[in-house]
Amino acid sequence: MKQSQLFTKTLKDAPKDEKSLNAQLLIRAGFVDKLSSGVYTYLPLGLRVIKKIQNIVREEMNKIEGQEILMPSLTPKENWEISGRWVVEEMYKIINEDTGLGWTHEEIITPLIKKHILSHKDLPKYVYQIQTKFRNEPRAKSGLLRGREFIMKDLYSFHETQEDLDDYYEKVKQAYDNVYERCGIKELTYFALASGGKFSEKYSHEFQTITEAGEDVIYICNKCQAVFNKEVKEEKCSNCNSDDFTEKKSIEVGNIFRLNTRYSEPFELKTERGTTIIMGCYGLGISRLMGAIVEVLSDGKGMAWPKNVAPFQIHLIEITGGDEEIKQKTQEIYEILQNKNFEVLYDNRDEKTAGEKLNDSDLIGIPLRVVVSKKTLSENSVEVKSRNEKDACLIKITEITNYVEKFFQ
Amino acid sequence: MKQSQLFTKTLKDAPKDEKSLNAQLLIRAGFVDKLSSGVYTYLPLGLRVIKKIQNIVREEMNKIEGQEILMPSLTPKENWEISGRWVVEEMYKIINEDTGLGWTHEEIITPLIKKHILSHKDLPKYVYQIQTKFRNEPRAKSGLLRGREFIMKDLYSFHETQEDLDDYYEKVKQAYDNVYERCGIKELTYFALASGGKFSEKYSHEFQTITEAGEDVIYICNKCQAVFNKEVKEEKCSNCNSDDFTEKKSIEVGNIFRLNTRYSEPFELKTERGTTIIMGCYGLGISRLMGAIVEVLSDGKGMAWPKNVAPFQIHLIEITGGDEEIKQKTQEIYEILQNKNFEVLYDNRDEKTAGEKLNDSDLIGIPLRVVVSKKTLSENSVEVKSRNEKDACLIKITEITNYVEKFFQ
């Protein structure tokens, strides 16, 4: 895409009312726009990241036999009354209607499944959606980390036996690990024991990514590496009995729960043999993950997107000094790269200085920067630089395709 | 996909509270589930159709330089007060919040664009989203044709001159024609003059698809073929002066408006030269289009999806009579077709009779049916049948790939 066409602009300064790093950078770079506290528009660059994360999550859910559906946001009071959750503070309610906005979907999926699972032979089944959720959130001050409107993947599983749920629970854990790996934050993400909350078993598990911006605290056992959310941490490690922990601030980027019969009982979800069906639920915030990636993979100059979720792969920048020949040469390189199916953002803006273009490039954080200038062309070359490395180098124009293919291998 | 894995079931009878044909068929076939009046869950088969329509619309919008974004549904009262639309009946409002649910997005896109269009050189720009809309709809009795929660594409254009808007208006008209062509309903869809409503110029244009289920009425001039919505129809055709019209019931599947300065004025959206920016808006209901396709392309047996929007391309059905060899042979054919990247729904269900499988196939409406049975295998053949034709024929197994490739050319 040609950057002159992109309708968004980068901003020099962050908006004053945004305290969180992720929102500051995403707004300055033109990835999102803030409509109100915890409510953002995804602009073209930001929506490209959201779609890439969604596709990674979708692929991993499909691999573990998840079937994708899309449930509504307008949800009837009667469903929430069956589970006793009509009164929770998290739910936005519509004036003059017995309707609330879905902030989670156990109350919708359970009666839906009841219509379609007619026999124990239909089990197990795994159903997920990627959907916008609404949550009445008094503390929406962390940009994409805590939204009042946010995009989430929620998977629900249905089993006849506890063992079957336990088996699937492990598969989901692996699928989540794959997601964080592909999104470039695996090394900073821990699998932590957490409380079960009000609605499930005594314990659940969370995926926690270490960042100073996180609102959670985890304790990592220095002896056996077991990880505990502050809520459930005791004096001694429940795994190895050590009392030597490292404390870290972190953000929850996923959680998995054994719901057991918490919802199947009130909704009378049973097999034909009378067994109450056992459920699991597995959440992963798509927009929160985007925010977490920004928090942990940015530097003083801007963002640094991992290859699989970057809005574009290559930032091609022309520095023409008004020379039409340089423009023409860059256009040719743009076409070569596009013909090889690379995703290229081509900064062809005439009104920007070289310095402004390079600053914008660092801010936007596309993995590979390719600069074309009088100097590089004098050596039949372009200058290439990874966003994650300090130094740039020249490569011959004839070598570009090879270089780029290797870079993205 | 193997049909035994699909968690949804087909139903023999339509739900009694659904009067509309599209909802009856879509629910019976397991494409959607009704949560409440005008509010549906998209099940795996239905979501596949939605995604295909979305992709067609997205491709056509990108071709006319539309840039995709995603705006929020939680929208602040202050934006709606600037345009004077906080009080409209269409809007759901949240209890204890100065927030309404977006039923259209002029009030959000206009101030957003104001932040990014700094000069007349930035014009024109075209921005769209594909998003869930909410509309307080007292008469939500037409299935997907009129939802309280529905999926819509809305495109907005921004121009410095009226001529530029007029040029783009024509391009959008062509893009919409392409969408209806690719979705298989072009021949039944008319471009009609309609009233401008409360919010735009005297006239707008609608795309109206002829169906008895439609809530609109159009008049087609028998002399010059000009088409008029009932609202704007006069005694004599305003184009050719004839008074000879054909009256048809129809459903609006798209509309395009010249907003002119209706929103740019109150939001003070101007160029640096002081010119108030001229706007157009262009709506297309994704879920409504899905419902309209069902209304016009179904028969007494079920739905008949056009090739480009069908949930799967091929319905592969085994009739084994308990014979493992037939199952094995069908599995081989399934793999051959999948390796050629065809989308196949493989009815491998053991508990269903041949008659039940064939009835389900007609109901679901996948374009090409391929049946494998003892009889067909005795001639080294499979039976193929287009959903739109009455007669089936045998083709040799060795010829399947060729046949299918030709069918979908």
pTM: 0.97
The answer to whether A279 and A110 have CB atoms below 8 angstroms apart is yes
- Domain at A373, CATH number: 3.40.50.800
Assess if residue A1 is contained within a domain.
no
Of B244, B275, B299, the position where a domain reaches its end is: B299
Q: Does A331 lie in the same domain as A256?
A: no
Report whether pLDDT(B201) > 80. Answer: no
Inter-residue contact A340 to A405 (CB < 8 Å): yes
Mean pLDDT estimate for chain B: 96
Q: Helix (H, G, I), strand (E, B), or coil: what is residue B348? A: coil
pLDDT band for A192, please (50, 70, 90 cuts). Answer: very high
| CB distance A70 to B42 below 8 Å | yes
A215 domain-assigned: yes
Q: What is the pLDDT of residue A197?
A: 61
**Option in B9, B35, B127 nearest A116 (CB):** B9
**Confidence category of residue A199, pLDDT binned at 50, 70, 90:** low
pLDDT at position B117 over 70:
yes
Q: Could you read off the pLDDT of B206-218 as tens digits, one per residue?
A: 999 999 999 999 9
Same structural domain for residues A191 and A74? yes
Region of poorest pLDDT, from A28-32, A136-140, B239-243, B279-283: A136-140
The answer to whether residues A105 and A134 belong to one domain is yes
**pLDDT score for B199:** 52
Q: Is residue B199 part of a domain?
A: yes
Residues A247-258: tens digit of each pLDDT: 999 999 999 999
| One domain for residues B212 and B321 | no
Q: Is A64 on the interface with B (CB under 8 A)?
A: no
Strand, helix or coil for residue A286: helix
Final residue before a domain boundary, out of B245, B265, B299: B299
Kindly determine whether residue B127 and residue A7, on different chains, have CB atoms separated by under 8 Å.
yes
**φ, ψ at B345 (rounded to 5°):** -100, 120
d(CA A84, CA A80): 6
Q: Is B122 on the interface with A (CB under 8 A)?
A: yes
| Locus of tokens 């729960």 | A257
Is A314 near chain B, with CB under 8 Å? no
User: A280 or B201: whose pLDDT is higher?
Assistant: A280
What does the mean pLDDT of chain A come to? 96
Phi/psi region, residue B35 (left: phi>0; alpha: psi -120 to 50; beta: rest), is alpha
Q: Do A108 and B35 touch (CB under 8 A)?
A: yes
In chain B, what residues touch A8 (CB-CB under 8 Å)? 116
- Residues B294 and B330 grouped into a single domain: no
Average pLDDT (A42-64) is 98
**What's B270's domain CATH number?**
3.30.930.10
- Could you tell me the pLDDT band of residue A14, with boundaries at 50, 70 and 90? confident
Q: Which of A30, A35, A115 sits opposite B72 (nearest CB)?
A: A35
Q: Does residue B2 form part of some domain?
A: no
Clarify whether residues B165 and B220 are in a common domain.
Answer: yes
- The reply to whether B208 falls in a domain is yes
B197 and B242 share one domain? yes
> Is A367 contained in some domain?
yes
Any bridge partners for residue B372, and if so which?
B318
Q: What is the pLDDT of residue A257?
A: 93
* Number of domains composing chain B: 2
Name every chain A residue with its beta carbon within 8 A of the beta carbon of B73.
73, 132, 134, 149
A318-372 confidence digits (pLDDT tens): 999 999 999 999 999 999 999 999 999 999 999 999 999 999 999 999 999 999 9
How far apart CA A176 and CA A189 sit, in angstroms, is 10
Are A291 and A320 found together in one domain?
no
Beta-carbon neighbour count of residue B186 at 10 Å?
A: 14
Last residue in a domain, options B265, B299, B333: B299
Nearest residue of A to residue B6, measured between CA atoms:
A67
**Would you give the DSSP letter of residue B277?**
P
Asked if residue A200 has pLDDT above 70, the reply is no
Q: Are residues A254 and A227 in the same domain?
A: yes
Beta strand pairing call for A314-319 and A368-373 = parallel
User: Is A8 a member of any domain?
Assistant: no
B144 and B286 co-located in one domain: yes
Domain that holds residue A368: 314-407
Q: Are residues B193 and B57 in the same domain?
A: yes
pLDDT above 70 as % of chain B: 99
Dist. CA B166–CA B278, nearest whole Å: 11
Are A326 and A277 within one domain?
no
CB contact under 8 A, A47 and B70: yes
Q: Cβ(B127)–Cβ(B66) under 8 Å?
A: yes
Q: Does residue A11 lie within any of the structural domains?
A: no
